[in-house]
Amino acid sequence: MLRNYLSVLFIATFLPSLFCQEIVLDSQIDSITLFRAGAQISRSGSGQIAAGRSEVTFKGLSSEIDGNSLRVKGEGDFTILSVTNNLNFLDEKEKSEKLEILNKQKELLSKQIGLTTKQLEVFKKEERFLDKNMVKIMGVENTPATPKDVEQLADFHRNRMLEVLEKQMTLEDSIQSQNQRLAKLHAQISTINSKRTPPTGEVVIVVNTGRSMNAKFNFNYFVRSASWQPLYEARVKDISSPIALYQKAKVTQNTGENWENVQLTLSTGNPTLGGVKPDLSPWFLDFYRPYANRYDRGNKGYYQVKAGTEGGHVIGTIRDVDQQPLIGASIVFSGTKIGTITDIDGKFKIKIPPNVSTLEVSYTGYESLSVPVTAYAMGVDIFLSEGHWLLDEVVVVGAGRKRKKRSQKTDGYIDGVTYLKGTRAEKAEVAIEKSITTFNYTIKIPVTILSNNQSQTIDIQNFSVPANYQYYAVPKLDKDAFLVGEITDWEKYGLLSGNTSLFFEGTYLGKSFLDFETVEDTLALSLGRDKNIVIERKKIRDFTKNKFLNTNRVDTRKFEISVVNKKSQPIKLRLEDQFPISKNKKIQVSDKNYDKGKLDDDTGIVKWNLDLPANGREKLELSYKVKYPKGRRVQLE
């Protein structure tokens, strides 16, 4: 009897908890923070929930939600019991606009083919009629047909038959052309339909409340297939004016959900880089191995090293093991803050700094990989495998309470970044905020960015930058002078390195690169060539001769450098040349003459700082002697 009572009590107590109402609510994007790699999406949704326990589902989200980043907050008199992030493989996404257009074109073309085919049938029937019912010449009763009547009827039959046959040929050509177009449409539609429909993401929130009410939910999460890259336009009116710098962003996203009329904030941060400080490991020397064919890292993917194409750089691609490019993957030299991210094709290029030996490659949701730097010019193809991720923690807030659910994998979680109030840029359509480690640009006007992996350019701000202008020339390597704008206090602008389009005196000069990762106090922006400065480096042949003294040979070199300023204003020009440096005690460089220049003994480079007036001229001389053993060869040019 007692056992039955306990069973009834157990059922009465726990049976209500087994029943959970399922509610599907819509949500909209409130704002997006787009990082250099990845984006944080903030959404909200509301709806009516009944008393008791309910399972609230938000569908149609990105399938790339990083569960570790999911944060949920509820507004109302209810308690959030749990939060999960699921993938839904059953709900198909809506047909793309392109597919709908193709289907409409196919339907219209099919109707056109049907109409043209019926027209062709009409003319074929007329042809059969003319063949079968040859005109019978019949005159009036008891009156035979005249030859003229026969001729007229024969002409009519012939002309009409030609018209019918010509119409048939035209219609047959039209049907053939239409069928070819229809076949192409079929092929295109089949190609689109054959692609695997990606799953959609869902956020499922289990809540409990004592009464029926309207509940509001705010949640945000991180997705990886989105990135932005800085672009610039540098415009210089003349060398007495500041640099007009236009900052832009090239935005790309392929998250599976369109961002339509959203509030967008661009952040200079990159969550995929991680925040763990580097630790030095023992440095072991071994014989140099220039090219490794393949290093298999098991579950961590692999990489293939090949010959580089540009000295001092690592150039490569990052893909997953299925050969798909990874956008916004992080590449950082171990032990430094020097790094970059991949573009929309998974490609990257990075300059090799001194004293580095390893590249650290990472991508959210994938296993990280270390790649040794083995050559001064290095190419590499990197393939990452997906990691096995667990929902370490979801922080949920409801009815003034905070709950934390942790797995055994970790004891902590990453808090969100608190942005500090900053200054507003002049003449800019963005609000600029500066946090401890990042700059954030909030675009005032809502933007639409489709999930199509296509780049879209967004204007961020434009401002004038004071600059000191100076020309540089190395006539040994290039006969042209290059204008350089030197910028101080560049750190306060919060700019990232990126490609720059150059305009000087209203003329497009080409592309350059703004490097804001330098540690120098002054940032040098190369503004291209100026043809109004003419430079000539001429070898004076009379002083180029060989002397045979005992067992040694002496070569003498002398050069004359001429500079003409054709501009209507004075300029400053730094001109550089060099002396050879001997690495062998049997080779001696002597009698160096560099005519008012300044010599760096360690590098052998000579610098002249010239102040040239308008239409001014200057001549410089450089000469030296090289003595070396007879019978040996030294390359002097």
SS3 state at 190: helix
Range 224-233 average pLDDT: 88
Handedness of CA 62, 66, 69, 71 (dihedral sign): positive
Strand partners, 303: 295, 382
Q: Cα(41)–Cα(34) distance, rounded to whole angstroms?
A: 8
Sketch the domain layout of the chain as residue ranges.
97-194, 302-384
Q: Cα(554)–Cα(588) distance, rounded to whole angstroms?
A: 9
Does residue 17 carry a pLDDT above 50?
A: no
pLDDT band at 542 (very low <50, low <70, confident <90, very high): low
Quickly tell me which residue has 């997953």 as its tokens.
320
Report the largest interatomic distance among the alpha carbons of the chain, rounded to a whole angstrom: 137
pLDDT digits (tens, 9 = 90+) for 235-283: 888 888 888 888 888 999 988 888 999 999 998 887 776 556 666 656 5
Range 200-226 average pLDDT: 90
Q: Tell me how far the alpha carbon of residue 620 is from its chain's centroid.
A: 47
Range 145-151 average pLDDT: 70
pLDDT band at 96 (very low <50, low <70, confident <90, very high): low
Q: Cα(338)–Cα(329) distance, rounded to whole angstroms?
A: 14
Does residue 543 carry a pLDDT above 70?
A: no
| Higher local confidence (pLDDT), 250 or 157 | 250
Range 190-197 average pLDDT: 66
Q: Cα(26)–Cα(58) distance, rounded to whole angstroms?
A: 6
Does residue 535 carry a pLDDT above 60?
A: yes
Instruction: Please return the burial class of 255, using the count of CB atoms within 10 Å of its CB with bins 0-12, 13-18 and 19+.
Output: buried
**28-32, 142-146, 166-170, 335-339: lowest mean pLDDT where?**
142-146
Does residue 208 carry a pLDDT above 60?
A: yes
Tokens coding 263: 């509030």
pLDDT band at 99 (very low <50, low <70, confident <90, very high): confident
pLDDT digits (tens, 9 = 90+) for 560-586: 999 999 988 899 999 999 999 888 888
pTM score above 0.85: no
pLDDT at 327: 83
pLDDT at 485: 84
Whole-Å CA distances, 405 to 82, 218, 223: 8, 18, 21
Q: Cα(502)–Cα(493) distance, rounded to whole angstroms?
A: 19
Say if CB 227 and CB 271 are below 8 A apart: no
Tokens coding 445: 């006007």
pLDDT at 389: 39
Helix axes 147-194, 97-132, angle to 10 degrees: 160
SS3 state at 176: helix
pLDDT at 433: 60
Does residue 393 carry a pLDDT above 60?
A: no
Q: Cα(183)–Cα(181) distance, rounded to whole angstroms?
A: 5
φ/ψ (deg, to 5) at 3: -65, -40
SS3 state at 161: helix
Strand partners, 371: 359
Cβ-Cβ contacts under 8 Å for 635 (sequence gap 6 or more): none
Say if CB 58 and CB 208 are below 8 A apart: no
pLDDT at 40: 92
Quickly tell me which residue has 């934390």 as its tokens.
404
Does residue 1 carry a pLDDT above 60?
A: no
Q: What is the mean pLDDT of the chain?
A: 78
Does residue 431 carry a pLDDT above 70?
A: no
φ/ψ (deg, to 5) at 448: -120, 125
* Fold classification of 302-384 (topology level): Immunoglobulin-like (2.60.40)
Does residue 27 carry a pLDDT above 80?
A: yes
Q: Cα(486)–Cα(523) distance, rounded to whole angstroms?
A: 6
